[in-house]
Amino acid sequence: MKAYRAALLRFATDGVPAHSAVYEEDGLLLVGPDARGQQVVQAIGPYADLAPRHARVPCEDLRGRIIAPGFVDLHNHYPQTDVIASPAEGLLPWLEHYTFPEEERFSSPEYCAQAAAFFIAELLRNGVTTSLSFASAHISSVNALFEAARQPQLRLITGLCLMDRHAPDGVRNDTEQSLLDTEALIQKWHGVDRLGYAITPRFAPSCSDAQLRGAGELADRYPQVWIQSHVAENKDEIRWARELFPQSRSYLATYADFGLMRERAIYAHCIHFDDEDRALMRGSGAAAAVSPTSNLFLGSGFFDYAGADRIGMRYGLASDVGGGTSFSPFHTMLAAYVVGREGQTKPGLSLKPQHLWWQHTAGAAAALGLDGRSGHACIGNLQPGCEADFVVLNPQATPLLARRTARASSLDELLFALIVLGDDRVVERTVVSQRTP
């Protein structure tokens, strides 16, 4: 058992809105192994209450720092790490000119290994302890990312990118073989340590009917495995998807028609939806990976938070690197605020700082089905029993942050100063829950 004395941030679980934060100015966090040997939160609360009861537990004094849940990134692409910050005329030209040529290089296991090692290190440096990531269409890219995540014990979910048409030679896969490979990779990796598999059709236009149907059959056969894809990001993409799948009611409905919407299905973007799409998300248990820096960068549009909340569909935040412009959850939360404020194409609203933070921690964990319900692991929060993934944040990391946070008169003001002014310099330490035999 180990204790940490610091300011503590976590999210309420019962009786109040889920995105209400609980903040302990002078708190104590106790971490120790559960029955499986996994490091979990054993107790959390005011220092004055807990310290006398745990006087013999070694305690690290981190007063002046904030301990908060590790961030959960619901969507990103590790093969796009090196095409971040590439300009283009929107999504489809960006894929053609930058992304596909780079992804072709992931046929080499050596290239994959060094890219995977950098990517995992960059996530950790930015305070991300769980990631749902795309690999490329090459088996080597999937194996390399799982291997890179295994030693630091990062909770990583990825899968072979399914793409059997409308992409150049070298980044496509064969329909039948890609489905056999997917099943073999599920059996090899899903549930090993903290690793999880995601069935990964890139997006409907890149997949034949046969590939989507096969993916849906696998999703049915392996209900604990995740599904990840893209939907309704860009109007040209939507037109294209409608031409290719005219029998479906909408672009999103295409995925439902192939059996790819259920709990543990995460769809990136979800911008250009109507209420029937939102109801389909809610009814199926699928969730949106809102990717605001990417949507602003590529000019794709603005996620409609009011619409999502009105219908009750689930969502959380994602960097979408490399369409997204930053690995930093702080930059993503700020961009989400800007997207929420936009009031020309949809109702504009001011998302509360606690809500922004929740979307990138406990809310994203709930979207993944990892919020402790029905016997599954709990991440993205620091309630007792949650896996002990956390960040140590320095609210005085820069001169400007020190001045602004010193004036904060409420928790929301403190969190908003960190969201607007923070980046990787705020993250002093990232602690990933370890499992000891």
Site residues (CB under 5 A) for Zn ion?
268, 320
Of 237 and 320, which CB lies nearer to Zn ion in the complex structure? 320
CA distance 185 to 270: 28
CA distance 94 to 425: 30
Environment class of 330 (CB within 10 Å of its CB; exposed 0-12, middle 13-18, buried 19+): buried
**Residue 377 in tokens:** 């692991």
The smaller minimum CB distance to Zn ion, of residues 6 and 268, is found at 268
What is the separation of C-alpha 228 from the centre of its chain, rounded to a whole number of angstroms?
Answer: 11
Least Å distance between CB 212 and Zn ion? 18
Cβ closer to Zn ion: 7 or 91?
A: 91
3 state SS of 133: strand
Dist. CA 85–CA 96, nearest whole Å: 15
Nearer to Zn ion, 74 or 112 (CB): 74
Please report, for residues 79, 177, 182, 211, the alpha-carbon distance to residue 142 in angstroms, rounded to integers and kept in the order given: 10, 15, 10, 18
> Would you say 21 or 298 has its CB closer to Zn ion?
298
CB of 198 vs Zn ion, minimal distance in Å: 13
Closer of 104 and 233 to Zn ion (Cβ): 233
Q: Toward Zn ion, which CB reaches closer, 320 or 423?
A: 320
Q: Give min distance, CB of 46 to Zn ion, in A.
A: 42
CA 36 vs CA 133, 268, 435: distances in Å: 26, 33, 8
- The total of other beta-carbon atoms located within 10 Å of residue 165's CB is 12
Give dist(CA 95, CA 72) in Å, integer.
25
Q: Smallest distance, Å, CB 76 to Zn ion?
A: 7
Enter the tokens of residue 85.
Answer: 């910050």
CB of 428 to Zn ion, least distance (A): 29
Q: How far is the CB of 298 from Zn ion (least distance, A)?
A: 10
Distances (CA, A) of 376 to 12, 20, 191, 224: 18, 22, 12, 10
Q: What's the closest the beta carbon of residue 118 comes to Zn ion, in angstroms?
A: 19
At closest approach, how far in Å is the CB of 296 from Zn ion?
A: 14
Q: Cα dihedral angle (59, 380, 10, 63), rounded to 10 degrees?
A: 30
> Which of 397, 395, 430, 431 lies closest to 416 in space, CA to CA?
395
Closer of 295 and 430 to Zn ion (Cβ): 295
